[in-house]
């Protein structure tokens, strides 16, 4: 997969406005990267990014649970299900480049991001790019089941053998993990899981940038890989408000608590309370904002936003 710049702003002219959305099918799969659960007149789009080995189907029921006007745009990573034959990205940053660039046609309304586990790291990187490329677009970042960049557990080792990796997935409580017990299905499922874990293990951002958007972190009380203290580290990654919600359960607490999680997201999705994106927010490690993102075509990054290799 080749890293990409965001598409030309002229693409906005091709975007159906909210009045036309009622004519679209309930689930729009026109773009292989997204599953769009179209609503009549959206006020905000919630871009949902799944865990390692996960799929867009993780968020299939959310459109029924969220407040009216919140449209779900669930991300389908390459290398699984209908994208089984596609090559995976070479890095988590490249994955974020691709997703952020492809979001332009959906920015006729503000967007929020929700990422679970690996998806939380991807969502953070997508958020950085949105704030660089389209400064008014991002409304809120929601993260789940993972600590903030720079606070990941060092030396985390994942199982090597197929049997051990399947057992590890089942023990984590992932929905549908019983499918890893089927030898034929396991051969189809394990490559995408291994690929995602490889991206995650290699993800070591050279610099952690404070976002202008507010962040809300969610987690489970019995998640051994992400404690409430781990979730609290996301407060360091925002120059705006921070919220923390913990629910009973393990790493996949959000399945039994989907109604409560979506209710919390709905309550924080009032657009007139969205923060201003005009002021610069300092880096956690430098007075300058140094980004790994690429400037959109025809638009140079500001001088205080030097790109890093």
Angstrom distance (rounded) from CA 261 to CA 120: 15
Q: Is 70 exposed, middle or buried (0-12, 13-18, 19+ CB in 10 A)?
A: buried
Distance CA 152, CA 74 (A): 25
- Record the tokens describing residue 148, joined without a space: 């903030």
Q: Are 270 and 246 contacting, i.e. CB atoms less than 8 angstroms apart?
A: no
CB under 8 Å to 186, separation ≥6 — which residues? 162, 166, 179, 180
Active site residue 117: yes
Q: Which of 117, 144, 177, 269 is catalytic?
A: 117
Do residues 22 and 48 touch, judged by C-beta distance below 8 A?
Answer: no
Nearest to 78 by CA among 183, 2, 129: 2
Provide the annotated active-site residues.
117
């Amino acid at each position: 997969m080749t890293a990409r710049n965001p598409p030309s702003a002229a693409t906005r002219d091709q975007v159906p406005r909210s009045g036309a959305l009622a004519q679209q099918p309930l689930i729009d799969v026109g773009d292989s990267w997204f599953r769009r659960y179209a609503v009549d007149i959206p006020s905000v789009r919630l871009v949902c990014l799944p865990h390692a080995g996960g799929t867009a189907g993780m968020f299939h029921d959310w459109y029924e649970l969220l407040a009216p006007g919140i449209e779900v745009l669930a991300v389908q990573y390459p290398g699984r299900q209908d994208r089984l034959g596609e090559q995976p990205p070479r890095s988590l940053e490249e994955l974020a480049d691709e997703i952020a660039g492809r979001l332009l046609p959906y920015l006729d309304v503000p967007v929020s991001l929700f990422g679970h586990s690996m998806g939380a790291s991807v969502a953070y990187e997508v958020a950085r790019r949105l704030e660089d490329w389209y400064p008014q677009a991002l409304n809120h970042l929601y993260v789940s089941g993972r600590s903030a960049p720079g606070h990941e557990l060092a030396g985390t080792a994942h199982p090597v053998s197929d049997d051990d990796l399947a057992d590890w997935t089942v023990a984590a409580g992932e929905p549908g993990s019983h499918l890893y017990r089927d030898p034929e299905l396991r051969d189809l499922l394990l490559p995408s899981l291994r690929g995602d874990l490889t991206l995650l293990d290699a993800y070591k951002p050279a610099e952690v940038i404070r976002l202008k958007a507010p962040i809300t972190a969610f987690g489970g009380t019995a998640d051994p890989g992400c404690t409430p203290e781990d979730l609290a580290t996301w407060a360091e990654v925002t120059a705006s408000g921070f919220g923390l919600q913990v629910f009973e359960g393990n790493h996949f607490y959000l399945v039994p608590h989907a109604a409560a999680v979506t209710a919390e997201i709905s309550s924080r999705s009032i657009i007139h309370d969205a923060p201003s994106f005009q002021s610069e927010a300092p880096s956690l490690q430098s007075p300058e904002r140094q980004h790994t993102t690429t400037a959109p075509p025809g638009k140079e990054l500001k001088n205080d936003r030097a790109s890093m290799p």
